[in-house]
Structure 1
Amino acid sequence: MAAKDIPADLKKQMQRSLVKHTDIAGDTRGEVVDLIVGAIDKHATPEGVNLEAAAQLIKDSLDKQYGLAWHCVIGKGFSYDITAQNGSLMHCFYQGDIAVLVFKC
């Protein structure tokens, strides 16, 4: 199904973030999701999302707000096996097919 064939209600639903897994607590969880969504939206163009720029913005923002040593992986297809600091891991999806993994180690 081409992007133009996606029903309007499904497109609207895909604009929400979907947290697949996280061990980040409470209010911080929402702040991290907002940061991720904002970075992706900021670097979105009609041609697509500049994933490299979005990842850099997410990493820099997390480093500034929550201390150094954050990492960000963003893309449309990847798997992972990592060791992360407790309370710092989030794997989520945005716009349906953009996966984001952030963690601190």
Structure 2
Amino acid sequence: MAEGAEAETQQKDEPKRHTYPLIRSSDMNDELKTECMELCVTACEKFSSNNENAARMIKETMDKKFGATWQVVVGEGMGYD
């Protein structure tokens, strides 16, 4: 019984993390949006401990496929308004 309470306490102390892509708004077509989401998930899984490398991979891939106009931000504590 003490083990269950200890595990529950540890879960409450850990920060909440999303395990899926979240898009609030976008003006991309559905095909491009799907490809971007898949690329972002792949990069974040591959470089789970290094946000800079994940952002670099996403930007380089998007620049090659769709032109050099992409800006990528990967990190913790980002806000959206």
- Cα deviation, residue 26, structure 1: 1.4
Partner of 1:50: 50
* 1:23 maps onto 2:27 in alignment: yes
TM-score by length of 1: 0.57
Q: Tell me which of the two structures has the higher relative contact order, counting C-alpha pairs closer than 8 angstroms and 6 or more residues apart.
A: 1
Kindly tell me: are residues 16 and 78 of structure 1, through their superposed partners in 2, closer, same or farther at Cα, counting changes over 3 Å? closer
Q: Which runs of 5+ in 1 are unaligned?
A: 82-105
Partner of 1:72: 72
Q: Which runs of 5+ in 2 are unaligned?
A: 1-11
Q: Return the letter of the residue paired with 2:58.
A: I
Q: Deviations over 1:50-100 (max 9, x none)?
A: 10000000100100111112110111123579xxxxxxxxxxxxxxxxxxx
Query: Share of identical aligned residues, percent?
Result: 32
> d(CA) in 2 for partners of 1:26 and 1:39?
20
Higher strand share: 1
Moved more, 31-40 or 19-28: 19-28
TM-score by length of 2: 0.71
Higher helix share: 2
User: Alignment partner of 1:57: what SS?
Assistant: helix
Number of matched residues?
69
Structure index of larger Rg? 2
Alignment RMSD: 2.3
